[in-house]
């Protein structure tokens, strides 16, 4: 059976605290600077917040699995609905990168966000993360702007999804 057909999208409440944090750590393992710079945010603003507020997580986070193994996730900020949704973290762990799972996962996130009535969907990524940029463009996001940040992060690329 094709692994792509085994992808499932599950609620965060089905997983242990630390799942998001561990996946982010793995996803950014290619450059230790991300971990050093962002680990506290990953722990507090992503993992701890959503595990402490599972009712919110049910609306704006899902874990992507293969055979019940978490391989990635997407989360978004629903506070400005229906005007705008900003996608926050979106990752696939390294073992599963390069197989199209990120594209399928993002398409599912867009579908859910549109069901919530969003009039605008935005996402940003580091300018160095070319595969992420390609994935966003492949699901229909359009380049919005590039903004310089600092010596470490360089620049951010911002995208907008053309909601019809």
* Nearest Cα to Cα of residue 164 among 130, 140, 145, 135: 140
- Predicted local distance difference test score (pLDDT) of residue 40: 80
Structure tokens at 132: 């992420």
DSSP 96: G
3-161 adopts what CATH topology? Aminopeptidase (3.40.630)
All structural domains of the chain with their residue ranges: 3-161
Per-residue pLDDT of the chain (164 residues; tens, 9 = 90+): 355 558 999 999 999 999 999 999 998 888 777 767 777 877 878 899 999 999 999 999 999 999 999 999 999 999 999 999 999 999 999 999 999 999 999 999 999 999 999 999 999 999 989 999 999 999 999 999 999 987 777 899 999 999 98
pLDDT in tens, 9-39: 999 999 999 999 999 999 888 877 776 777 7
CA distance 44 to 46: 6
**In a 3-state reduction of DSSP, which class is residue 17?**
coil
- Predicted local distance difference test score (pLDDT) of residue 1: 38
| Cβ–Cβ < 8 Å for 157, 127 | yes
């Amino acid at each position: 059976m094709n692994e792509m057909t085994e992808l499932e999208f599950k609620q965060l409440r089905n997983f242990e605290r630390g799942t998001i944090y561990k996946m982010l750590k793995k996803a950014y393992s290619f450059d230790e600077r991300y971990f050093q710079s962002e680990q506290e945010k990953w722990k507090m603003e992503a993992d701890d917040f959503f595990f402490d507020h599972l009712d919110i997580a049910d609306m704006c986070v899902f874990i992507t699995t293969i055979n019940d193994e978490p391989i990635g996730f997407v989360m978004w900020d629903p506070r400005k609905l229906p005007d705008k949704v900003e996608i926050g973290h979106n990752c696939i762990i390294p073992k599963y990168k390069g197989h199209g799972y990120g594209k399928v996962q993002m398409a599912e996130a867009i579908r859910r966000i549109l069901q919530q009535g969003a009039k605008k969907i935005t996402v940003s990524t580091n300018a160095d993360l070319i595969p992420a940029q390609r994935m966003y463009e492949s699901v229909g996001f359009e380049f919005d702007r590039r903004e310089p940040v600092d010596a470490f992060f360089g620049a951010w690329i911002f995208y907008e999804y053309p909601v019809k």
